[in-house]
Amino acid sequence: MNELTVYHFMPDKLNLYSDIGNIIALKQRAKWRNIKLNVVEVNETEGVTLDNCDIFFIGGGSDREQALATEELSKIKDQLKAAIEDGMPGLTICGGYQFLGTKYITPDGTELEGLGILDFYTQSQKERLTGDIVIESETFGTIVGFENHGGRTYHDFGTFGKVKYGYGNNEEDRREGIHYKNLLGTYLHGPVLPKNHEITDYLLKKACERKGIPFEPHNLDNTEEEAAKQAIVERLEKQHK
């Protein structure tokens, strides 16, 4: 059996809205392709290298927990940046996405330093952007999820896609998330991967390509996943009529 390894960063701090479900989805869809997915939980980064990592995952958390996690991740930020530039696939959720940027500005104007892996920033406001969201993506098709964030993120990188219903990065440009090389960052909780098999498969496929192992079968039966997604889309369409 072929194997991949996912590094799950800070699961003790970053598991808002059951983001651990993303790991479960990755493991199951890897299993259906006869791939064993090894999960390494990384709560402390001293001495950690990414030499054996094929995919990395950073979940969401409160501002306090995210600040603590960012301080820990800063010890390996150069490694993370190099891995991202080299095409390592990764998924970052909400705070895990925000702190890849240069700074996070709190509602009172305090600037918290980010990892600075990519050049973007987040401005937080007291009013939160909350609710189900539907995105139309050129890469992934229709994407659904749940967002609940005070941060408004601004950048010029590629995104998940155009927001059809919901808010997205900042409720202004009608775009959601970030897609840079094989790095994905998003505000979608829920968790996002069980609802969107296309994203799960993207991460696994890119990891397989990078490691030189087969990604088969290419077509799984996604009837149940598509039905669950369509139920969310139809509910929002009715609400917006």
- Cβ 100 vs Cβ 133: under 8 Å: no
CA–CA separation, 231 and 8 (whole Å): 30
Q: Is 128 annotated as a binding residue?
A: yes
- Cβ 35 vs Cβ 55: under 8 Å: no
CA–CA separation, 125 and 109 (whole Å): 10
Pick the catalytic residue from 8, 149, 189, 197. Answer: 189
Sequence-distant (≥ 6) Cβ neighbours of residue 61 within 8 angstroms = 10, 13, 14, 15, 16, 69, 94, 95, 96
Pick the catalytic residue from 94, 179, 197, 208. Answer: 94
| Catalytic site includes residue 189 | yes
- Beta strands of 181-221 (E only): which ranges? 183-186
- Beta strands of 21-86 (E only): which ranges? 35-42, 55-58
CA–CA separation, 158 and 68 (whole Å): 28
| Catalytic site includes residue 208 | no
CA–CA separation, 182 and 203 (whole Å): 8
Q: What share of the chain is helix, strand, coil (3-state, %, to 5)?
A: 30, 30, 35
Which one, of 6, 36, 43, lies nearest residue 23 by Cα?
6
Rounded to whole angstroms, the maximal C-alpha distance in the chain is 55
Task: Please report, in range form, the residues annotated as the binding site.
Answer: 128
- Which active-site residues does the annotation give? 94, 189
Task: Please report, in range form, the residues annotated as the binding site for substrate.
Answer: 128
